[in-house]
A and B are shown apart, each in its own frame.
Chain A
Amino acid sequence: EIVMTQSPATLSVSPGERATLSCRASQSLSSKLAWYQQKPGQAPRLLIYGASTRATGIPARFSGSGSGTEFTLTISSLQSEDVALYYCHQYSTWPPGTFGQGTTVEIK
């Protein structure tokens, strides 16, 4: 089983500053990596797939990068509405892939 490790567990960022979230896989995924956002009390929402493709309706301040085993989700200018849990999910092995344990983004 591929293990996904997200870091940090919690990220505190000032409004307007950049937030950088990491996701590491225990083996190569190529680009089969997605990011999901889960706001408090809400269902998860697809942000990024194919490591770097934004889903429909996702603001341009969200970007994904990486391939192989190292991936990054960047929020270029953090807004208050971006406070959420962020999960990476690998789908190189399917079904069902593996979720990371999540990174909580909060406002500093």
Chain B
Amino acid sequence: EVQLVESGGVVVQPGGSLRLSCAASGFSFNDYTMHWVRQAPGKGLEWVSLITRDGGSTFYGDFVKGRFTISRDIRKKSLYLQMNSLRAEDTALYYCATETDCIFRSWGQGTLVTVSS
């Protein structure tokens, strides 16, 4: 069974940094492009970032503007999102998701990031 477990979400002050993690199990981690998708409270889904299967390519939403870095560790079967210069508008539930053929196949339960002073 595919399992994605996010962690690392906390309350952080504006301008602060945070590293989110997503632990994968139950599938071949190497076979999937991995994504972060976020959902602000009461709002819809917003794509954040992706990293290809081998980690060779990464892409980001326009709003990231160089503040976030996605990475993966194949040996640890884990996905990461380093978030710097956080803003109030980054407050959201952050999901990791697997993707093949441009379709989000499985999603974790999310980890909540709150940016507030």
Interface residues of A (CB under 8 A from B): 32, 34, 36, 42-46, 49, 55, 87, 89, 91, 94-97, 99-102
Interface residues of B (CB under 8 A from A): 35, 44-47, 50, 59, 61, 95, 101-110
Partner among A34, A43, A96 whose Cβ is within 8 Å of the Cβ of B108: A43
A45 vs B106: C-alpha distance in the bound complex, in angstroms?
7
Partner among B61, B95, B103 whose Cβ is within 8 Å of the Cβ of A46: B103
Contact B59 A96 (CB under 8 A): yes
Contact B47 A44 (CB under 8 A): no
B104 CB contacts on chain A under 8 angstroms: 34, 36, 44, 46, 89
Cross-chain pair count, CB within 8 angstroms: 49
A30 to chain B, nearest CB (A): 12
Contact A32 B95 (CB under 8 A): no
Which chain B residue lies CB-closest to A36?
A: B104
Contact B103 A95 (CB under 8 A): no
A34 CB contacts on chain B under 8 angstroms: 103-104
A49 to chain B, nearest CB (A): 5
Main secondary structure of the interface of B (DSSP, over half): strand
B100 to chain A, nearest CB (A): 10
Cross-chain pairs A/B with CB under 8 angstroms, 20 sampled: A43-B95, A44-B104, A44-B107, A46-B103, A46-B104, A46-B105, A89-B45, A89-B104, A91-B102, A94-B102, A95-B47, A95-B59, A95-B102, A96-B35, A96-B50, A96-B59, A99-B47, A100-B44, A101-B44, A102-B44
B18 to chain A, nearest CB (A): 20
A45 in contact with B44 given A32-B102, A96-B61 (CB within 8 Å): no
Which chain B residue lies CB-closest to A93?
A: B102
Which chain B residue lies CB-closest to A45?
A: B107
A34 vs B108: C-alpha distance in the bound complex, in angstroms?
18
A43 in contact with B103 given A87-B45, A95-B47, A101-B44 (CB within 8 Å): no
Which chain B residue lies CB-closest to A55?
A: B105
A46 CB contacts on chain B under 8 angstroms: 103-106
Contact B109 A44 (CB under 8 A): no
A95 vs B49: C-alpha distance in the bound complex, in angstroms?
9
Which chain A residue lies CB-closest to B61?
A: A96
